[in-house]
Amino acid sequence: MIVDHVAIVGSGFSGTLLAINLLRHGMRRVTLIERDASRLARGLAYGKMHADHVLNVRAGNMSAFPDEPQHFVQWLARRGLGSESSFATRGSYGSYLAELLADAQHMTGDRLRILTDEAIELALEGDRARAKLKSGGAIEADVAVLAPGNLPPHTLPAFAGLGRPLYADDPWADDITAGLNDRDDILLLGNGLTAVDCALSLTSSGYGGRIMMLSRRGLSPHSHAAQPPGPPLAIQPENVTSSLVRSVRMRAGAVGWRNAIDELRPFTQFLWRAADEQTRSRFLRHLRPFWDIHRHRLAPQITERLEAMRASGRLTARAGKIIGAVPERDGLRIAWRSRGEDQPEGQLFKRVINCTGPLGDLTRTSDPLLANLYGSGLVRPDALAIGIDVDQQGRALSRGGHAQKRLFVVGPMTRGAHWEVVAVPDIRRQVWDRARYLTNSHWVGMEEL
């Protein structure tokens, strides 16, 4: 299949980096479609962040290009913003990506077209992919690529029908502290990285009241060690069953739990792909919460800030399940049942913010384009309903399981096929591979995908 023009829907990290790599590998034309100009090249992760928010990965592993591992470190050094072992700010990383896109546009001229518009429908017609735009126009290309990033979280049943200012479904909204004072209590639904970011955003915005985090298990992300991790394993582990859990525990005793987790990184995707659906389901049901808090860690300085908030009484974390939410004149009366307890508890909160993490179930999305694609059968949910079903080359699978040769998906919504595809080191490799595949560069040196 000859591909001269690729249209990419979404310009966060995945979409932006795919566009840049396509151009680097010789693609004749690339159109990047983004509905929110403020997210161009930055997406959600590196856009609406306070200046003191930092990355959760050291700068030495944040290069945008797998063939230039020191690229971001060198960018930081030229600006006096950090070193290889630093946890750079997310704002700095957003600027880095924006500069890469600007440089690509400068170097390639009209080969790169950036549209501030929204793709609301997509059709595959013969040898073309046609995206209908909200403005009324349309874009035709040889191939379309979906780069939707992380979708907003589900609204829990207890909060159905509730809205602002009592209930906020967007933890990144600019007006998240509007109408609050330091005597008001806030409840964050969730206790993971999203909740941590939200708590820090609230504090950075001047809010000085009390924050409670509530999640099913009450587990909090751990911190990175002061030193970078050691080398990875030399040999891939055999499977993802209980024997692997035992092996990791043994390695943790020998090299520390952080190294025991980190040394699996080169093999995680292969282990996931080799596992059957039942094993994957068991992992998600029983191990995912524990994997997340050990695998996706916080920068040490962020952990210190959270510990200071806890020590002052401003931040608490509870394990429990929401059983009710009743609006009152001064807020929402929340009832929950603590883990291991029979009797419910309750408290009045001025505001409840949904920080439960990204939506993965395609059947529940409110995104117009994804809903249209699902309704038309051009895409389908993966077997575990954590993303969009794709094959090994990243081609979307139709309702009937047919690989769409002119429709690809990149980024976190391919987690059903790869699992570990939410962080920069994994996504940069994915979009590099997709760019090489679409430009036929993967045949160089007899290397196939």
- Specify the 3-state DSSP secondary structure of 158: helix
Q: For the residues of 179-205, what is the DSSP string, one character each?
A: T--TT-EEEEE--SHHHHHHHHHHHHT
Contact status, residue 357 vs residue 192, Cβ threshold 8 Å: yes
CB atoms within 10 A of CB 149: 22
Angle separating helix axes 13-24 and 90-108, nearest 10 degrees: 30
Provide the token pair at 443. 């045949």
CA–CA distance, 67 with 421 (Å, rounded to integer)? 18
Contact status, residue 302 vs residue 196, Cβ threshold 8 Å: yes
pLDDT at residue 445, as a whole number: 43
CA–CA distance, 198 with 354 (Å, rounded to integer)? 10
pLDDT at residue 373, as a whole number: 97
pLDDT at residue 86, as a whole number: 92
CA–CA distance, 380 with 239 (Å, rounded to integer)? 27
- Specify the 3-state DSSP secondary structure of 399: coil
- Specify the 3-state DSSP secondary structure of 20: helix
pLDDT at residue 443, as a whole number: 52
CA–CA distance, 191 with 193 (Å, rounded to integer)? 7
pLDDT at residue 13, as a whole number: 94
Low-confidence ranges of the chain (pLDDT < 50): 444-449
pLDDT at residue 442, as a whole number: 63
Note the pLDDT tens digit of each residue in 240-295: 667 788 888 888 888 888 988 888 888 889 889 988 999 999 999 888 999 999 99
pLDDT at residue 234, as a whole number: 66
What is the set of domains in the chain, with CATH numbers? 5-152+359-446 (3.50.50.60), 157-222+298-354 (3.50.50.60), 242-295 (no CATH)
CA–CA distance, 60 with 40 (Å, rounded to integer)? 24
Nearest CA among 246, 167, 176, 241 for reference residue 205 = 176
pLDDT at residue 253, as a whole number: 87
pLDDT at residue 51, as a whole number: 62
Burial zone of 194 (CB within 10 Å; 0-12 exposed, 13-18 middle, 19+ buried): buried
Provide the token pair at 233. 């394993």
Note the pLDDT tens digit of each residue in 18-61: 999 999 999 999 999 999 888 898 887 776 666 668 899 999 99
pLDDT at residue 264, as a whole number: 86
Strand partners, 32: 8, 114
Strand pairing report for 112-116 and 210-215: unpaired
Nearest CA among 406, 429, 407 for reference residue 418 = 429
Q: Give the sign of the dihedral formed by CA 40, CA 43, CA 46, CA 50.
A: positive
- Specify the 3-state DSSP secondary structure of 124: strand
Q: Give the sign of the dihedral formed by CA 15, CA 17, CA 20, CA 21.
A: negative
Nearest CA among 434, 353, 352 for reference residue 390 = 434
pLDDT at residue 305, as a whole number: 93
Strand partners, 390: 396
CA–CA distance, 131 with 3 (Å, rounded to integer)? 16
pLDDT at residue 152, as a whole number: 83
